[in-house]
Amino acid sequence: MALTCVAVFRLRRPHVSLGRAWEGRPILGGMDALSDEELVAQYRRAPTTERARQLLDELFGRHRPQVVSWCYRLTGDRARAPDLAQDVFVKAYASLDGFRSDSKFTTWLYVIARNRCRDEHRARASRVREAPEEAAVDPPSEPNDALAALAARDARTVVRAMMDEVLDETEKRVMTLHYGHDMPLGAITEALGLTNASGAKAYIVSAKRKLNAAMKKWNARS
Amino acid sequence: MEREILRAALAPGADCLSMEELGRYADGALGPAEQTAAAAHVDGCLNCQAELALMRAVTSTAAPAPRRRWMGLGALPLAAAAAVVLMVGGVLYVRTEKPPELPRATPSGGEVTRSLAVSVRGPLGDQTEAPRRLEWLAVERAVRYRVRLMEVDRREIWSATTSDPGVDLPSTIRASLTAPRALRWDVTAYNASDAVIAESGLQSFRLVVR
């Protein structure tokens, strides 16, 4: 709260530029040469001071473009990415005490971004019960009847065994992220950097065909 | 029906690592016993492998140039900023331009990365003269390293590829590095399949007047 008071007090005064501007933010004496972890350590030593506010400005400012990029790639939503990134920094600020210096600050920040974007997927999924891309994924001429016939109790074991057997690594990741982690196909395409024309959708179609064929053989055997 | 089957089959299990644990695992920051147990789980877990692959793919691409201007707290209108500051108590940005153009990632491909960190030896911190060499610890299974020297705004000054855990700075580059000046550098390790297996993250050093 003390920092809040300091910050509000600062708002009453005109912005003072300290040194040359880089990407629109001031370069503050020596801070730009500090690592992320050093900035956090210095912030913790005196979290209620004016310098602490500057340290956070430097820390969060240097990662903001990166976090916007992550949020875009994790959701596939260009318009929402800056707002999601803002949420990430709010959470990061509130959780800074939980950052442990034995891991990288960027990894810690990514974890917050990933969790925030996953919440976004879930909220969106609850608003739209049927994902629009889902209807277009399976060609109507090739219904995955063998897969659909699986008893729910067998699904986890059988599907995972089949995936290991017949899918390549990218197909497995796309299927897992889409169905297991609720990621939209557009986001998977961006996040994994899939450069084929149809992106993740093509991998889903291919994976389902392979799974369906494998399931039919499995059903015939059993 | 099919979608529900797949959702049930591919949902993360109760024994899956949390995102926080996965992050610490990727950084090698778990305790020895936890790290071993996590590795054993990840080896057989589609969900954790997918999350690690996602983490590596998303974080391995350089951030684009920002399209919004970071203005700190001082430049915000008082009423609006104070309201937000009271909620978050921290730093914010204001929208000044359209959303950024963001690059596509490089294809992920390859195997799941067990460690994402290259440990650097130096230079780090204050230096009284331009360093002769950038050095880091060898990464298992790495066949080449790409190293970049950058300005503080991450504009590349020089880069090189080497199979050794270190590289000499060319004399022309050293001659251009005069104090006072802050610089950054990073190292990316690649395996035989040319997949990224470890990264140093951004490192910093500063040339100071003797």
Q: What is the pLDDT of residue A147?
A: 61
Give chain B positions within 8 Å (CB) of A193: 57, 61, 104-108
Handedness of CA A177, A179, A182, A187 (dihedral sign): positive
Is residue A35 less than 8 Å (CB to CB) from chain B? Answer: yes
Chain mean pLDDT for chain A: 79
* Min Cα separation B66/chain A (Å): 5
Distance, in Å, from the CA atom of A160 to the CA atom of A36, rounded to the nearest integer, reads 40
Distance, in Å, from the CA atom of B195 to the CA atom of B202, rounded to the nearest integer, reads 19
Tens of pLDDT, residue by residue over B139-158, are 878 889 999 998 876 778 89
Q: Which of A221, A182, A176 is nearest to A203 (CA)?
A: A176
Q: At residue B182, does pLDDT exceed 70?
A: yes
Cβ distance of B46 and A150 shorter than 8 Å: no
B102 versus B133: which is more confidently predicted? B133
What residues of chain B, 36 to 75, have a C-beta less than 8 Å from chain A?
46-47, 49-51, 53-55, 57-59, 61, 63-66, 68-75
Cβ distance of B105 and A192 shorter than 8 Å: yes
Residue of A nearest to B110 (CA): A169
Residue of B nearest to A16 (CA): B74
Q: At residue B207, does pLDDT exceed 90?
A: no
Angle at A131 between CA A129 and CA A132, to 5 degrees: 125
Give chain B positions within 8 Å (CB) of A144: 2
pTM for this model (two decimals): 0.59
Question: Is A177 within 8 Å of A144 (Cβ atoms)?
Answer: no
What interface predicted TM-score (ipTM) does this complex get? 0.78
Helix (H, G, I), strand (E, B) or coil at A198: coil
Q: What is the pLDDT of residue A60?
A: 93
Retrieve residue A132's tokens.
Answer: 């629009």
Q: At residue A151, does pLDDT exceed 80?
A: no
Residue of A nearest to B65 (CA): A65
A218 versus A209: which is more confidently predicted? A209
